Amino acid sequence: MKNDGVHKMINKAKLRAMLLQLEALSIAESTGLYQSHLDTARLDLSEPNDQGQRSQQEQSAVEAQGFEEQSHLHQKHRNLIEALPFGRTAVVEPGAVVNVNNRYFVIAVPTQVISIDGIDIIGISVESPLYKVMAGLRAGETFEFQQKTFVVTDVQ
């Protein structure tokens, strides 16, 4: 990709709102799936003991637990996003939007690609290997990642 030197300003308030909305949707989905699987996992003691049904109920209970964990994870993400400073910054840090080789990242939580005003942004967490190698850098600085050199072209 060519670097035209023009960086688009990201509306960080809009970005925060979109991140929170994504987490709210994920919490609702995980909670719904949890409840659905939990309902399937309930044992009906008035019925005769059927091994096949009992096995299905046990599997549903395991799946319900996984959805409950997902719900808690997305709630942690939501709390993190709410606590992050999304103000203007000159260094790669939590809450920053970073342009690396014409690709935008928000340092917050892992996300799918989010499109804001025609700009695609990917969320990454502070635990991600990519963040760890560029933490603290400023626009114009370079870093190595997976045997390639990258340039931080903008930090907001």
Q: What is the Cα–Cα distance from 99 to 92, expressed in whole angstroms?
A: 10
Give the mean pLDDT of 120-130: 97
Determine the length of the chain.
156
The domains located in the chain, with CATH, are 12-155 (3.10.50.30)
pTM, whole model, 2 decimals?
A: 0.73
Q: CB of 124 within 8 A of CB of 131?
A: yes
Q: CB of 8 within 8 A of CB of 119?
A: yes
- The yes-or-no verdict on residue 108 having pLDDT over 60 is yes
CB atoms < 10 A from the CB of 22, how many? 19
> Positive or negative CA dihedral for 81, 84, 89, 90?
negative
Q: Tokens in use for 43?
A: 């044992």
Give the mean pLDDT of 113-136: 96
Mean pLDDT of the chain: 85
Q: What is the pLDDT of residue 31?
A: 76
Q: What is the pLDDT of residue 1?
A: 36
Q: What is the pLDDT of residue 96?
A: 98
